[in-house]
């Protein structure tokens, strides 16, 4: 129901950020992610960032996909905790 895309925060002007995805820039509101900082990847929905992408988790997800053995299930059911 909700399209959202990750994009990188490149500029902050108070509560308005500029995010970039492969050269395409857009403004988005940072009201829901007040702790976002330049360089963070943000998940953007309808012109508003709704979460900061946890890059460590993104890496682990990718790894879990690549390995696909026991690790995967343990990871997805929360038995492998990342730094948090």
Partner 1 sequence: MNKITLTEKSKVAASLLERIHELHNPEETVRFMEVCGTHTVAIFREGIRQMLPKGIELISGPGCPVCVTDQQYMDQALAYAAREDVVIATFGDMLKIPGTTGNLWQSKENGAHIEIIYSPMEVIGLSEQYPDKKIIFLGIGFETTIAVIAATIQAVHAKGLKNVFFLISHKLVPPALRALLSNPEHQIDGFLLPGHVSVIIGEQPYQFLADEYHMPSCIAGFDGVEILAAIVNLLEQRKEQTFYVGNTYRSVVAKTGNSVAQQLMDTLYEPSDDGWRGIGVLPASGLKLRGEWSAYDALVQLPLGTFTTSDGPKGCQCGSVIQGMIHPDACPLFGKLCTPEHPVGACMVSVEGSCSAWYKYGFSSGGMTWEE
Partner 2 sequence: MERIRLVHGNGGKFSHELVDQYIVKYFSNPILNELHDGAVFPVTTGRMAMSTDSYVVTPHIFPGGNIGKLAVCGTVNDLAMMGAVPQYLSCGLILEEGLPISTLETVLQTMSDMAQLSGVSIVTGDTKVVEKGSVDGIYINTAGVGIVPDYVQLGTSYIESGMKVIISGTLGDHAIAVMGTRYGLDLPDTIQTDCAPLHKMAHKLLETFGKDIAFFRDPTRGGLATTLQEIANSAQKGIRLQESAIPIREEVQAVCQVLGYDPLYLANEGKMIAIVRADVADEVVQVMRTFTEGRDAVIIGDVVNGNAGKVGLQTAVGGIRLLDMLGEDQVPRIC
Measured between alpha carbons, how far is residue 16 from residues 11, 36, 40, 56, 63 in Å? 9, 11, 14, 25, 33
The listed partner (partner 2, partner 1, none) that binds 71, CB under 5 to 8 Å by sort, is none
Q: Which of 10, 11, 20, 68 binds partner 1 (CB under 8 A)?
A: 68
Enumerate the β-bridge partners of residue 44. Answer: 5, 49
Q: Does 71 bind partner 1 (CB under 8 A)?
A: no
Contact set with partner 1 (CB under 8 A): 1-4, 6, 8, 15, 28-29, 31-34, 41, 43, 45-48, 50-51, 53-55, 57-62, 64-66, 68, 72-73, 75-78, 82
């Amino acid at each position: 129901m909700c399209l959202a895309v990750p994009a990188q925060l490149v500029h902050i002007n108070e509560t308005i950020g500029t995010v970039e995805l492969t050269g395409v820039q857009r403004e988005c509101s940072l009201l829901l992610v007040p702790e976002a900082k330049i360089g963070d990847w943000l998940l953007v929905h309808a012109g508003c960032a709704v979460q900061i992408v946890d890059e460590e988790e993104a890496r682990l997800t990718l790894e879990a996909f690549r390995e696909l053995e026991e690790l995967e299930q343990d990871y997805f059911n929360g038995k492998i905790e990342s730094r948090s």
